[in-house]
C-alpha cells in the first residue's frame, strides 16, 4: 500500500502476516490435531507429497485456532514471535 511521504516521494509499506494467538486454547488445538484423520498423509508413498498434504491439513486446523492477521509493524511481529515461539520451535520454523 503506497504511503505519501512529506517530500512527495512514495514508499511501499510491507505488510507482514502473523498468527493471532490471543484466543488459542492449547488443549483444544492439540486435541483437534490428535483426533484428525491423518490417513492421507500416512498412506502417501511419496515423502514430498506426504509433507505437502500434512502441511495443508495441519494449517487448516491451525487457521481455526490461530488465524492470520496483518501486521504493519516489524516490531509487533517480532514481539509476537518471541512470546509464542514454542509453536514455531515445535514446527521446526526456528
Q: So what's the pLDDT on residue 82?
A: 58
Segment 40-63, tens digit of pLDDT: 999 999 999 999 999 999 999 999
Measured from the Cβ of residue 62, the count of other Cβ atoms closer than 10 Å reads 19
Segment 57-92, tens digit of pLDDT: 999 999 999 998 877 655 555 566 555 656 656 666
Segment 5-51, tens digit of pLDDT: 445 555 555 667 788 888 899 999 999 999 999 999 999 999 999 99
Q: So what's the pLDDT on residue 3?
A: 42
Give the SS3 label for residue 28: helix
Give the SS3 label for residue 63: helix
Q: Is the pTM of this model over 0.75?
A: no
Cell of 45: 508413498
Amino acid at each position: 500500500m503506497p504511503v505519501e511521504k512529506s517530500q512527495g516521494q512514495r514508499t511501499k509499506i510491507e505488510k507482514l502476516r502473523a498468527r493471532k494467538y490471543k484466543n488459542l486454547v492449547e488443549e483444544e488445538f492439540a486435541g483437534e490435531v490428535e483426533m484428525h484423520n491423518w490417513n492421507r498423509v500416512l498412506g502417501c508413498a511419496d515423502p514430498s507429497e506426504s509433507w505437502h498434504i500434512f502441511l495443508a491439513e495441519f494449517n487448516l486446523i491451525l487457521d481455526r485456532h490461530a488465524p492470520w492477521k496483518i501486521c504493519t509493524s516489524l516490531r509487533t511481529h517480532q514481539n509476537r514471535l518471541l512470546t509464542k515461539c514454542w509453536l514455531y520451535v515445535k514446527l521446526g520454523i526456528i
